[in-house]
Amino acid sequence: MPRDALVVVDMQVGLLDGLPKHDLADVVRRINAVAAFVRGQGGTVVWIRHCGKAGDGFARHEPGWAFLPELDRQPADLEIEKTLNDAFAGTALHETLQRLATECVVIAGWATDSCVDSTLRSAVSRDYHVVAVSDAHTLSDRPHLEAPAVIRHHNWVWSDLLTNRSIRVVTTDELLADQR
């Protein structure tokens, strides 16, 4: 039986460095709610961990490499390490999702315009149904655009991607109300 998988991108302590991330506490709360929902529907939660280089705040086994402690991670959840923006590139993510008979990939995390965007587009190109949780991804203000505008822009772009399957951009509340 096909199942959903929630892919949570790079929600690690290292993201606390630099400028504040937009609505971070509520984004974490929403990710936890979506994770509980997906698990309750028989799906899998996959935590993507960025493994950076020495000195970039995300080097393996350095403090920034750890997941944010506020995240509700469970023993049955999976972890996949990545070194590039796209969580599918050079990782076992696609093979893992295939083994789990995943048809729909639900995506949340950090950073909207980089790793979340790359991972979402890669899921589309691999013919998954994709759900972008519009209020469960974050980033900091950019020099040319404030974070809420970047988030709105990406939610709009994602809603109109060309796909062989489907793409939906929904709020956490809309997703949780969807009793498939």
Give the model confidence (pLDDT) of 93-115 as tens digits. 999 999 999 999 999 999 999 99
Query: Which residues form the domain of 90?
Result: 3-177
Contact 50, 10 (CB under 8 A): yes
140: tokens are 């900091």
Overall number of domains in the chain: 1
Q: Which residues pair with 44 in a beta bridge?
A: 5
The model carries a pTM of 0.97
Dump pLDDT digits (tens) for 17-50. Answer: 999 999 999 999 999 999 999 999 999 999 999 9
Q: Give the strand pairing for 3-9 and 44-50.
A: parallel
Quick check: 161 pLDDT over 80? yes
User: Which CATH number covers residue 65?
Assistant: 3.40.50.850
Is the separation of the CB atoms in 38 and 138 below 8 Å?
A: no
Concatenated DSSP letters for 136-154?
Answer: EEE-PPBTTB-HHHHHHHH
State the chain's mean pLDDT as an integer.
Answer: 96
Is residue 180 pLDDT above 80, yes or no? no
Average of per-residue pLDDT across 114-121: 98
DSSP-H helix ranges across the chain: 24-40, 93-99, 117-125, 147-159, 172-177
Predicted confidence band of residue 179 (pLDDT cuts 50, 70, 90): low
> Which residue, 4, 67, 82, 68, is CA-closest to 36?
4
Quick one: 38 exposed, middle or buried, by C-beta within 10 A (0-12, 13-18, 19+)? buried
pLDDT band of residue 2 (cuts 50, 70, 90) is: low
pLDDT in tens, 133-158: 999 999 999 999 999 999 999 999 99
pLDDT at 178: 83
Is pLDDT at 1 greater than 80 in this prediction? no
* pLDDT score recorded for residue 3: 87
